[in-house]
Structure 1
């Protein structure tokens, strides 16, 4: 009977770690039926059952647990050797997967991605824009990019783009004839464009001045789940929006929006790229981080 191939073993590792044929197939770029066939072939070649399968779940048998325990470090070491062999020739290859917010990916596309793709033409860059915060290890990403406050404590974090701030903005037309808010509590006199977080909760606006922190559940007839759409709604005169400054930059420059409560909007730690501190860092990620630092 033929021996298992490296592809067979990597397929088993993906299914075993994610305990899902669907998720493993998506990450590997193959169909679920193809992946299932690969695993059944591997079990026949080894003469043992590796997985318990039901219509709703996948779990490891005792044989599967033993195989995964030994296989993980071996495949990790093999990947490291292959990457080091490539980098010795000055060639960085492979796929770099990064999960980030839409705003972060916009920033990367403006400042980092063009040069990265020019320098490392053999790297496939896979950028996934996602509102919700995901477990980058469980979801198969090499790194994530989020606001510093959202980065898990056990990750190595690298700053991206410096500090930023949230700004309360409105159109001159909306503000005409209305009292300009001087303190956050005066937002109660206005229509505010509220924001729905990826978790489903509504965001409560956070302000700070001279060490005093104020959190306001603002009033408003409309809620959106996109900072870009909130800016567009504010430009249309539908109320006051509270968004990261980069989203409002163009409208502020063109004076279709103006700021209110600006002295209540301090700078905060901005976006950070983060990755696990207990895993080998692939050369493609090292190269990407070097460009960020530049």
Structure 2
């Protein structure tokens, strides 16, 4: 037990967190073969299996998860202490990687990023936007941004932006031609602008009123995968779109769109930044969370 080195523990933590020998090897600057050898040697010295290995994946065992939970904060504190020793007091450096959906990224750019960038000019913010929900730990991100309801339960969430709604909207000309739907079932008589999910499946429009929930596969010959484009298509009179309120608010206020089925569109918890509960929170992420809270107008 006494010959377990700090480098051994760093190697294990990297593999356990990234769940990839390749990503871990890149992170700590060694080869995959050397890393694999180091981990097997560590398991022999501890006389316990720390990792499940297959030809395609690697994941911590129960004992590995327990060890990671204990050492990750300690390694993080050590890294933070070493980093602080080599920089002026209060100055942050490095890269903060965040995976976000488009709506969340827009909110951050308006409310949090300007504060963070002005306060920490030497930190690189790598903000990746995509529709699919990724494993932020396996993909090497410090945090993710999604709707609160989509965040895995084992993550720590930092809500922002208050509540939100999905709204059915259409151009005034559409309402003049097809009338105004009074209930979700009436959408069967309207051309709708459908949305394709990152999985490839079409999104079923979800409505709720007085505790009654309805999910519909609406008709329509136009399918898009971007909310901003759906709003633009609705403005062109191509059908009814069902989009987050943030995308529709300006054209609604300007009269280019009309709100439909409002009583079937209750508010629900909006976006949040989330990160793994078992990982040490880097100083850069703590600073970004501070910027979110400071810039949140809700």
Q: How many residues align?
A: 285
Moved over 6 A (4+): 6-13, 36-40, 54-60, 68-74
**What do residues 35-54 of structure 1 show as CA deviations (whole Å, max 9, x unaligned)?**
669979x99xxxxxxxxxx9
Change (3 A) 1:211 1:280: same
Shift of 1:78: 3.1
TM-score normalised according to structure 1 size: 0.79
1:235 is matched with: 235
Are 2:115 and 1:115 aligned? Answer: yes
Change (3 A) 1:71 1:272: closer
Change (3 A) 1:154 1:86: farther
Change (3 A) 1:160 1:97: same
Shift of 1:120: 0.7
1:211 is matched with: 211
Are 2:163 and 1:159 aligned? Answer: no
**What do residues 77-107 of structure 1 show as CA deviations (whole Å, max 9, x unaligned)?**
5313224546882122221111110111111
**What do residues 194-227 of structure 1 show as CA deviations (whole Å, max 9, x unaligned)?**
1111122211111111222121111111211111
Shift of 1:151: 0.6
Gaps of 5+ in 1: 1-5, 44-53, 61-67
SS at match of 1:176: helix
Are 2:157 and 1:149 aligned? Answer: no
2:100 is matched with: 100
Change (3 A) 1:263 1:74: closer
Aligned-residue RMSD, C-alpha = 3.9
The whole-number CA distance in structure 2 between the counterparts of 1:290 and 1:164 is: 22
The whole-number CA distance in structure 2 between the counterparts of 1:236 and 1:103 is: 22
TM-score normalised according to structure 2 size: 0.78
Change (3 A) 1:142 1:57: closer
Change (3 A) 1:263 1:129: same
1:46 is matched with: none
Gaps of 5+ in 2: 1-5, 40-53, 61-67
